[in-house]
Amino acid sequence: MSILPQSLFSRRDLLKKSAVGFGNLALLSMLNEETQAASAKDPLSPKEPHFTPRAKRVIFLFMKGGPSHMDTFDYKPQLQKYDGKPFPFDKPRVQFAPTGNLLKSPWKFKQYGESGIHVSELFPNVAECVDDLCIINSLHGTNAAHGGASLKLHTGSDAFVRPSIGSWVTYGLGTENQNLPGFITICPTLAHGGVKNWSSAFLPAPYQGTPLGNAAVAAKQAQIEYIKNNFLSRKVQRKQVEFLNDLNRLHQDETGPNQILEDRIGSFELAFRMQEEVPQIQDISGETEATRKMYGLDEEKTADFGRQCLMARRFAERGVRFIQVSHSDQKVQWDQHGNLLEGHGKNAKEVDKPIAGLLKDLKQRGLLKDTLVVWGGEFGRTPTAQGKNGRDHNPEGFTMWLAGGGVKGGLKYGATDEFGYYATKDKMHIHDFHATLLHLLGMNHEKLTYRYAGRDFRLTDVAGHVAHGILA
């Protein structure tokens, strides 16, 4: 029996006129736990992978703007030797802008760990973890612009709106904590694709990434939108939920099943459950002083990104499937077309200690073995100079690294040419990279599909090969 006669107003009219608004519709989750548990349609419930996974979750450390590989993790002694000389090969047919002669790295490289891998002095703390890193020096893409390259890295397409990798992972595996989203993005950039980089696109709404703040907000102040209700008590919220739920049942009795409505209701329910769990995760008062220092929270330059990395660990241990952490501000952070020394120096200082802290913390807690940590940007930089002291965009060959989650540590995989312009050995296209990440999570990239507009879509489109050489 409904609470109000249907003739008084339609459900749509109520939603338009109510002061409650969509923010408070999150309170739909006040439905009792038995009802939630009995629902066989919960899209975020844990799902079985295609085969035994090496990793259960992903933390993606996104360095927006494109870090220079030959200044960080791709040591090029020939570049030092031939500094100022013309590039001896043909440059790519499509370039973002003209560049001049070869430009050596202003930073020294040193060998670290039992593996003896060379790492730039830009990353002295991450270098201490080098035996846990699988450094892929042979990434390559197809787009030399930030927007297209970012979309390619995040969604597999630089031309069409497609679901992000975090959405695909959550679609394939669900989440381990029903009180949290399967996919969280911490302080994401709103530029160069913006929300499309964490969008579920044509996948159902529950697989959308949930942003915690954005790049213009300090991590300490970052919040999930509408996470708090400052106007209603929980008792009143329950009455509100019961009322709205009755209207929902009435509407569905009249119209039949509605997937869009079900997805929206599910999202609102999740939003309410997050009201209790997310603030607990963001409250770091229980972390030890040693842990805070390990992430660099005691230093001004590292405190912001350090907090993001600490949040990533806390979300990971609570069962979130895919967590993205973005190093970006209102500028294009790693995009040093000029003043490479100052720009990359500042950027590396902000992230080096927090990243090392994250790796060490995960390892100490036994989480690194089944957490795949991914580091990198949308492309690399040119070994040739732009202006006097900058580097241009370079999607032809660049570096990303992985740690934990079933990859070989202390490994350099693939290579660029002797100067660092083109991927040459064990080349790994972005589609191959995605296929490999999904494989580590126990999913066959060719079988993880969703039917839309008359065809079966997948993250890797019609390409992609798993790089078995990096698997532990």
CA gyration radius, the chain: 24
pTM of the model: 0.89
Kindly list the distances between the CA atom of residue 363 and the CA atoms of 263, 339, 370, 373, 404, in Å, as whole numbers in the listed order: 37, 36, 10, 11, 8
The label of the residue with tokens 């990395």 reads 309
Kindly list the distances between the CA atom of residue 408 and the CA atoms of 35, 55, 130, 357, in Å, as whole numbers in the listed order: 44, 13, 11, 20
- Which residue, among 360, 353, 262, 346, has the nearest Cα to 305 in the 3D structure? 353
Report helix angle 165-173 to 430-440, nearest 10. 30
Q: How many CA atoms lie within 13 A of 348 on its CB side?
A: 23
Alpha carbon distance 109, 124 (integer Å): 10
Annotate the chain with three-state secondary structure: CCCCCHHHCCHHHHHHHCCCHHHHHHHHHHCCHHHHHHCCCCCCCCCCCCCCCCCCEEEEEEECCCCCHHHCCCCCHHHHHCCCCCCCCCCCCCCCCCCCCECCCCCCEEEECCCCEEEECCCHHHHCCHHHEEEEEEEECCCCCHHHHHHHHHHCCCCCCCCCHHHHHHHHHCCCCCCCCCEEEECCCCCCCHHHHHCCCCCCHHHCCEEECCCCCCHHHCCCCCCCCCCCCHHHHHHHHHHHHHHHHHHHHHHCCCHHHHHHHHHHHHHHHHHHHHHHHHCCCCCCHHHHHHCCCCCHHHHHHHHHHHHHHHHHHCCCCEEEEEECCCCCCCCCCCCHHHHHHHHHHHHHHHHHHHHHHHHHCCCHHHEEEEEECCCEEEEEEECCCEEEEECCCEEEEEEECCECCCEEECEECCCCCCEEECCEEHHHHHHHHHHHCCCCCCCCCEEECCEEECCCCCCCCCCHHHEC
Q: Provide the sign of the torsion angle of the four alpha carbons 136, 139, 145, 149, taken in this order.
A: negative
The per-residue pLDDT for 263 is 66
The per-residue pLDDT for 11 is 47
Of 1.10.2020.10, 3.40.720.10, 2.70.98.10, 3.50.50.60, which CATH number belongs to 50-228+288-470? 3.40.720.10
State the CB neighbour count (10 A cutoff) for residue 1: 4
For residue 334, give every residue at least 6 positions away whose Cβ sits within 8 Å of its Cβ, in sequence order, or none.
63, 64, 65, 66, 67, 68, 327, 343, 344, 347, 377
Query: Which token pair is 247?
Result: 């209207």
pLDDT average per 10 residues of sequence, the chain (472 residues):
44 45 41 39 90 98 98 98 97 93 98 98 98 98 96 96 97 93 95 94 94 92 81 74 75 76 67 78 95 98 98 97 92 91 97 98 98 98 97 98 98 98 98 98 98 96 97 97
